[in-house]
Amino acid sequence: MPDHSTFSKNRHGRFRDSDMLRELFEATVRRCMDEGLVGGEGFAVDASLIKADANRQRSAEGSETVDWTALAETRRSVREYLDTLDEAAWGAASGVKPKFVSKSDPAAQWTGALKGHAFFAYATNYLIDLQHAVIVDVEASRAIRQAEVGAARTMIERTQDRFDLWPARLAADSAYGSADNLAWLVHERGIEPHIPVFDKSGRQDGTFSRSEFTYDHDQDAYVCPAGKLLRQRQRTYRNPRPLADEDGMMRYRASKHDCDACAMKPRCCPNTPARKIPRSIHEGARDMARAIAETDEYATSRRQRKKVEMLFAHLKRILRLDRLRLRGPLGARDEFHLAAAAQNLRKLAKLLPNGPQVMPA
């Protein structure tokens, strides 16, 4: 009989060092590919929050000074937290201080994203193939949007590298519809974004929203509801200035002369001398996503996107992974990999009722 400590020593030591659970998960993806269950044409990506093994009582205020180095001497989860502070999926994902930080698992994010009571959580991120909802990649991340979008990019790149899978389209919700993410998909990966555009330009005060201004490609100008042009430069500067501001937006301005004489001014720019319209340097990719959103293929992608939500529901209700047992980024990673591998094996068993064919060695 092995000594009882063998299990935890293997789990925290040898298994983790060898990346065994990652290899196990990738073996399930390869098997699904070998059995023809991965189409490779369309993918969907999403993230789901899983409660961490941490509670509010044993946490510090986000602004409180905590001696993490001292805590790291006795807690593995704190060492992992310090090791991942510079990683895009973890500490570097956002500079915003959370309201509370757990002393037992500081990489877990205090979140109120699910409405109701806030809690500490990690995010599990799935990239799935839309043909049979096989999970082609999984990644643990901090439970904030920037980290989830970063995890989606990591998974797309890794799936291309490891399995040579190059999807033509990616379905996702508006959390993935920021201008720079759409541009990355379109220009750097050649993937059609079947994603609602993340757009906060709508106005609630009754004045004209940006959607009421039409962009004219030939003139590189917006046409306002009164038929006047909004251009990037109304005058020429002696020292040329960059066309885009530091936030990656170009500003198109109406002429004060036009606005002063316009009967629609109270509904357009009642508090400013002339109307301004910001346009992202990635507006081309946003326009492409808007055009795709009008197609029948988009309606199909939207329906198919539900498959990834069903996998998360199965993960929580049937596999009972609604709360993590292990702490730290690596603990979350291990549990998410094991769960995704189990879901792929279940898929194999379900879709191949006679069992997978034995592959030649």
Give the residue with the Cβ less far from ligand SF4, 171 or 221.
Answer: 221
CA dist 66 and 306 (Å) reads 42
Q: Number of residues in contact with ligand SF4, rule: CB under 6 A?
A: 13
Residue 91 exposure: Cα atoms within 13 Å on the Cβ side: 12
Q: From residue 79, how far is each of 49, 91, 212, 325, 332 by CA, in Å?
A: 23, 13, 52, 18, 14
Sole window of 23-31, 92-100, 124-132, 218-226 interacting with ligand SF4 (rule: CB under 6 A): 218-226
Contact 13, 329 (CB under 8 A): no
CA distance 294 to 197: 12
Nearest CB to ligand SF4, comparing residues 135 and 259: 259
Q: Compute the distance between CA of residue 30 and CA of residue 46 in angstroms, rounded to an integer.
A: 21
Instruction: List the beta bridge partners of residue 222.
Output: 215, 230
In the complex, what is the shortest distance from the CB of residue 278 to ligand SF4, in angstroms, rounded to a whole number?
A: 14
Task: List binders of ligand SF4 among 222-261 (CB under 6 A).
Answer: 224-226, 228, 254, 258-259
By the rule CB under 6 A, 264 interacts with ligand SF4? yes
Closest C-alpha among 260, 252, 258 to residue 232: 252
265 binds ligand SF4 (CB under 6 A): yes
Amino acid 89 reads A
Q: What is the DSSP letter of 223?
A: E
Q: If binding is defined by CB under 6 A, does position 277 make contact with ligand SF4?
A: no
Which is closer to ligand SF4, CB of 52 or CB of 259?
259
CB 256, min distance to ligand SF4, A: 9
Contact indicator for 263, 269 with CB cutoff of 8 Å:
no
88 is a site residue for ligand SF4 (CB under 6 A): no
Q: How far is the CB of 205 from ligand SF4 (least distance, A)?
A: 15
Instruction: Rank residues 97 and 257 by Cβ distance to ligand SF4 and give the closer one.
Output: 257
Note whether 262 binds ligand SF4 by CB under 6 A: yes
What sign does the CA torsion over 174, 176, 178, 181 have? negative
Under the criterion CB under 6 A, does residue 269 sit at the interface with ligand SF4?
Answer: yes
The residue ranges that bind ligand SF4 (CB under 6 A) are 224-226, 228, 254, 258-259, 262, 264-265, 268-269, 275
